[in-house]
Amino acid sequence: MKEIKLTDSEKILMEILWEKKAVFMKDILDAYPEPKPAPTTTATLLKRMQNKELVGYKLYGNSREYYPKVEKGEYFKEEMTSMIDRFFNSSVTQFASFFTSNAKLSQKQLKELRDIIDDQIEE
């Protein structure tokens, strides 16, 4: 699979697209948090993301309906894998140890994690 890298601006736009599924420029601009970017800035960003094959569109006359070409789950998986590779030398065990030690998890949450791991072992 091709590596998915998003800038902070692209992440905000992708969040809008993932939430809305398919959306026109006006609706994208309405969904942006303040301060909203200029329409030209958003259009440039969309074009760049189309070139990266992250965003597609359907043409309706002169209007484009934009949609994500990458699923949020796929992106999240790539981000997590990249983070584990960079910070934990590709060791999921080191990541899990760090996470459970530093996330201030309750006993209930730790037991839920153990149940998830036990379910994976049984499969």
Question: Which pLDDT tens digit goes with each residue over 55-72?
Answer: 999 999 999 999 999 898
Alpha-carbon gap, residue 17 to 70, rounded angstroms: 10
pLDDT tier for residue 120 given thresholds of 50, 70 and 90: confident
Q: Decide which of 2 and 58 is more confident.
A: 58
Q: How far is CA 100 from CA 21, 35, 43, 120, in A?
A: 34, 36, 42, 18
Q: What is the predicted pLDDT for the residue at 2? A: 60
Residue 3 has pLDDT above 70, yes or no: no
